[in-house]
Structure formats: structure tokens, C-alpha cells
Amino acid sequence: MFDDFFLISFVPILTGLFSALSCTLVGNILVLRKQAMLSDTISHVVLPGIVISFLIFGNLGSHFMLVGAAIAGLTAVGTIAVLRTYTSMDNSAAMATTLSVFFAAGVLMIELTAGGNVHLDVEHALYGNLESLIWIDGESLMSVFDSVSRQTIPVELTRAIIGFVLIASVMFVYWRFLIVSTFDHTFAEISGVPVGVVSAGVALAATNAAVISFDAVGSIIVIAMFVCPPAAARVLTHSLRDQVWLSLLFSSLSAVLGYAVAGYVPILLGFETSISAAGTIATLSGVILAVAIFYGKRQRSYDFLDGHQT
Amino acid sequence: MTELIGYNTALALVGALLFGFSSGHVGAFVYLRKASLLSDSLAHATLPGLVIGFLVSTFLGMEEKNSLVLLLGAGVSALFGVVVIQWITARTKLGFDTAIAAVLSVFFGFGIVLLTGVQSVSVGQQAGLEDYILGSVSGMLLQDVVVIGLVSIMCSAAVVVYRRLLTAFIFDPVLSEMAGYAQHRMSFLLSLLTLVITIIGLKIVGLILVVAMLTIPAATARLWTTGVWSMSLLSALFGSVAAGIGVIISALLPSLPSGAVIVVLMFIALGLSIVVTHLRGSNV
């Protein structure tokens, strides 16, 4: 069962892992800013950007896809701002409108140009296709150090690693700006922190993380990677540093275990084919969150039916 | 009429007109309450219930696409989602946004696990299930339309009966409480209406885009009027017209999912309304 590990499982596990880590890093900030649903919006709006790049460059491997999706992400942030200025919409209504329209436009583009597309379909956009990332020349661990066989590593993995390094280093450099504008917006503003730029940067980082994860887990399950590990960590600790490290741990656990469970458990149970790895990863991250809430300290009693206004 | 567009499309058209009307009607109040994204979360949370409903109806030897069983499963699943959202916000410091995002994605992910599981053990055709994700009116049966129509009429009736209480609750919760209408009951009513509209909309609009039905017509109507009642009627009209035209377009070009067409139509109407009301200087 493990003979073809490097051929079949090595690249999907690493791609899932780095996608999950990137999303979780940004997710820590989103959860603290009470903008968790921004990840929902962004993961939907990148679809038309990805489709347009795909139509222009012909495959999902192109790095221009990142540019296309980033443009779509920024257009969406602009659309939200326009809707909030010219209509009576609050933030949640503007996000709901923007995400549904961009996603609908992406779906229509896919369906209208369906003739030539074998690699891009709506199911792919919804729940990804981690299992398809096969490394043809992957025979053993030594293949990683062999420059010839390294060339056949799917570009999705390279992109996930580059994206993760980019997000991690930008967050590391601007960490103080991020934190001060998240916890005390007014103080940050009078201290001269460019809070608008920081907000746009957070949206851009979320877009980046959503795009590199798009192949792996698709546009909806990616939200679980953004939200669940940071939320679980937030429940267990009051230290921000601990929260980030814990969330990265939870995120790696769900990514690696999720893939393993999806790939091997149905076979062990005697079924022919496997279940969706992306779905299993999301489910596991949810289980971790549930366990964390169940065993974490009770923090307060608050009834959303009585008083939520987000 | 049926000679022009065919029996199936005529059925779907009736369902879409009624559903569009009541979703716009309820949507106006959900919009004013600023609770639009709750329905997005609930819609995604229906997927596990849809798949389980499908398994149950196959197991019991019913017709494979028995939509009543599927909708019942969807309802139970979304209700469980509400309970989990309530549990998270009550027990932890996590925000409402985090709770709905977590429920949305984890329930959907689990639904995908079940869906791929069903595919791999291949009990019959699961093709009907994917219609619920993006909406499809091609396989609409008379019983589907009857259920969608009746429930839509009931939701609109509830809005007509409770319009004053809902308005008071949204704009002045303290007054509403003092008048003897507990906030949690009114909030429950509105959440229940959201849930029911979300579930009957699954077939026509699909679970990803159903949130738009509750949001965009209401926002468009709000541009044209300041009265709550006139806004809700206008919103219902917009929803109904967009759903009707969308279903006809989707019937003529079957590759286009009806949900996506309806959402794009509604957004065009919103954009035109913004421009026109601003040119007239009547934007309110």
C-alpha cells in the first residue's frame, strides 16, 4: 500500500499542508478582526479571476493565475466598498452580494466555454482535486534531490510553498502593524500606522492563500482552513503567540491526517475508491474545533439570537 | 403558454415566481436586520442532510430523487447548524462571524465526504444531488412545485401577519420587548423564515447562491423606497421577476445553471437601480 507513496501521496500531502498553513496564518488575523466571513467572500470571488486566467493561458499551472485572482480579489473589495457607499447595505449584505455575483459569473464563464475545458469544471472549483497531483518521477525520497525528476513535481506544490513563504515573511515583517491595527484601530490610526493599507494587505494575503489552496481544496472547504484552526487555538489560549503556533499545529494535523484518512480508511474498510481528501480535511478541522470548545474554558455566556449585530 | 415553453419549464416557472416572491418578501426583513450571511451558512450546512436524505430514500426503496425526503434531511441538517452556531457563540469568545464561517465550511466539507462516499459505493444515480448545489430546474416535478409553492405562500403569509411586529423588533427592540414581544421569539421567527426559504430555494437557486435571493432584491428595493412595507413588496416583485426570467433563460440554454443566471440578472437590476436613483437624485 505504501510502495507508491512518492508517486501518489507525497505531493498532495505537502500541497495540502502548505495551503492549510497559509490559510491558517491569515485566518488568525481574520478571526481576531471579526472578519472570518471575508474568507468566504474571497474564496468565492477568485473563481472568475481563475477562469479568465485559465481561458487566456490554457492551464491551471500558470503563475498568471495568481495575478488574475489577485485582480479579482481587489475588484471584489472595491465592489464591496462601492455597494456600501451607494446603497444602504451593511458589510455582511455587501459581502453576500459580491460573493454570489462573482461566483455566479465564474460559473457562467465555465459553462459557456465548457467545450475545451477538461481541467476546470464546477465540481473542481467547489471541492478541489488534491488526489490528481501525481508526481510521475517520484520514486523515493532521493527523487527530491534529483534535478531531473524534480522537474515533474506539479506546479501546484511549488506555488503553495512560494505562497506560504511569502505570506509568512510579510506577516513577520509587518507583525506589529498588523496587531496594533487589529486590537486598537484608533490608537493605530493616531500613531501613524497606515490602517487602510494594512486592511488591504490582509485582504490581499487572504486572496493569495485562497488561490494557492484552490487546486487543493476548492473554494468552500478553504474557509475551514482559514477559520477552524485559529478559532480552536483562540478558545484554548489567551496568548497571541501561543494562538498562532497552536493554530499551525492544528492546521498541519488536519491537513496530513485528513489526507491519510481519506486515502486509506475506505480501503481498509474494504471499499473500492476513496473519499474526498479536501472534505475530510475540513471535517477533521471541525472536529478539532469542537473538541477544543468542549474541553476549553467556558469564556462567556452570550446569546446570538438576542444580540448579534455583525 | 405550455405549448410555448414546454410543460416542465412552465412548472419550474410557477415555482420560481412564487419562490422569488416570498424570498424577496422575507429577504427585506432579513436585510434590515443585517443578518444576510446567516442564510449563506445555513444553505451550505444543508449538504450533509441532502446526502443522508438521498441515502435514506434510496434505502427505503423510494423514488431516487424523492425531494421531500431530501428537503427534510436538509432542514434537519441546517437546524443542527443553527444549534452549533448558538453553542459556539454561547460558550466561547469567538465572534458570530467565526461561528457561521466554521459551520458553513465544516458542514459542507462533511457533506462532500458523504457525497464522494455515496459515489464510491455507487448506490444508484446521485446525479440529482448535484442539482442542489448550483440549482437546476430541468428535473422539476409537479410535487416539487407544489411543495415550493405552498411553503412560499406560507412564508409570505407569515410576513403579512407579523410585519408590524417584525418592523418594531428590527428598528426598536426595546419598544418591541416592552410591548410584550420577547426579542428571542421575534429573532427565532426571522431565523425560522430564513431557514425555510433557504431550504425550498435549494432546487431553484442552489445552496451556494441562495443567499443572494434574500439580499439583492431587498437592497435594490431599498434604493427606491423608504417604507418598510412598500420595500418588502417591491423586493418580492424584483425577486419574482428575476427568478422567472432566470428560469426561462436556463430552460432555453440548459447548460447554464438557473441559480447563476438569476443572481447575475438581480445584480444587473441592482446596478441599474443605483445609477437611475442617483441620476434622479432620489437615492434614499
The grid coordinates listed for A109 are: 464563464
On whether any CB of chain A is under 8 Å from the CB of B208, the answer is yes
Contact between chains at B101 and A40 (C-beta distance less than 8 A): yes
Q: What is the pLDDT of residues A217-276, one digit of tens each?
A: 788 789 999 999 999 999 998 889 999 999 999 999 999 999 889 888 877 777 666 788
Domain A5-132+148-297 sits in CATH 1.10.3470.10: yes
> Residue B172 belongs to what domain range?
2-280
How much of chain B is helix, strand and coil, in % rounded to 5?
80, 0, 20
Contact between chains at B101 and A37 (C-beta distance less than 8 A): yes
Contact between chains at B183 and A306 (C-beta distance less than 8 A): yes
Only one residue has cell 506544490, namely A157
Average pLDDT over residues A201-222: 84
Position with higher pLDDT, B255 vs B150: B150
On whether any CB of chain A is under 8 Å from the CB of B280, the answer is no
Contact yes or no for A260/B83 (Cβ under 8 A): no
Only one residue has cell 491551471, namely A60
Judge whether residue A60 has pLDDT over 80: no
Q: Give how far B209 is from chain A: nearest CA, Å.
A: 6
Confidence of residue B157 (pLDDT cuts 50, 70, 90): very high
Q: Could you give the CA distance from residue A12 to residue A9 in angstroms, rounded to a whole number?
A: 5
Q: What is the pLDDT of residues B76-101, one digit of tens each?
A: 999 999 999 989 988 888 888 999 99
Contact between chains at A278 and B34 (C-beta distance less than 8 A): no
Average pLDDT over residues A26-30: 94
- CB contacts of A227 in chain B (<8 Å) are 98, 101-102, 105
On whether any CB of chain A is under 8 Å from the CB of B117, the answer is yes
If contacts are CB pairs under 8 Å, which of residues 245-274 in chain B contact chain A? 255-257, 259-261, 263-264, 267, 270, 274
The grid coordinates listed for B181 are: 414581544
Q: What is the pLDDT of residues B236-283, one digit of tens each?
A: 999 999 999 999 998 888 778 889 999 999 999 999 999 999 888 765
Half-sphere exposure of A97 (CA within 13 A, CB side): 32
Q: Could you give the CA distance from residue A210 to residue B39 in angstroms, rounded to a whole number?
A: 22
Q: What is the pLDDT of residues B20-57, one digit of tens each?
A: 999 999 999 999 998 888 999 999 999 999 999 888 88
Distance of CA A51 to the CA centre of its chain: 18
Q: Could you give the CA distance from residue A258 to residue A261 in angstroms, rounded to a whole number?
A: 5
Complex-level ipTM:
0.90
Domain boundaries, chain A: 5-132+148-297
Q: Could you give the CA distance from residue A53 to residue A150 in angstroms, rounded to a whole number?
A: 26
The grid coordinates listed for A186 are: 484608533
The percent of residues above 70 in pLDDT, for chain B, comes to: 93
What pLDDT does residue A299 have? 58
- CB contacts of B100 in chain A (<8 Å) are 36-37
- CB contacts of A305 in chain B (<8 Å) are 86, 183-184, 187-188, 191
Contact between chains at B113 and A280 (C-beta distance less than 8 A): yes
Contact yes or no for A225/A94 (Cβ under 8 A): no
Q: Could you give the CA distance from residue B173 to residue B182 in angstroms, rounded to a whole number?
A: 9
Average pLDDT over residues A149-160: 78
On whether any CB of chain A is under 8 Å from the CB of B65, the answer is no
CATH code for the domain in which residue B243 is found? 1.10.3470.10
Q: Could you give the CA distance from residue A85 to residue A79 in angstroms, rounded to a whole number?
A: 10
**Phi and psi at residue A88, to the nearest 5°:** -90, 15
Q: Could you give the CA distance from residue B88 to residue B103 in angstroms, rounded to a whole number?
A: 10
The 10 Å CB-count burial string (b at 16+, else e) for A62-91 is beebbebbbbbbbebbebbeebeebbbbbb
Average pLDDT over residues A25-33: 94
Indicate the number of domains in chain B: 1
How much of chain A is helix, strand and coil, in % rounded to 5?
80, 0, 20
Closest CA to A228 of B194, B98, B36: B98
Pick the range with the lowest mean pLDDT from A13-17, A96-100, A306-310: A306-310
Distance of CA A232 to the CA centre of its chain: 16
Average pLDDT over residues A121-147: 71
Contact between chains at A304 and B183 (C-beta distance less than 8 A): no
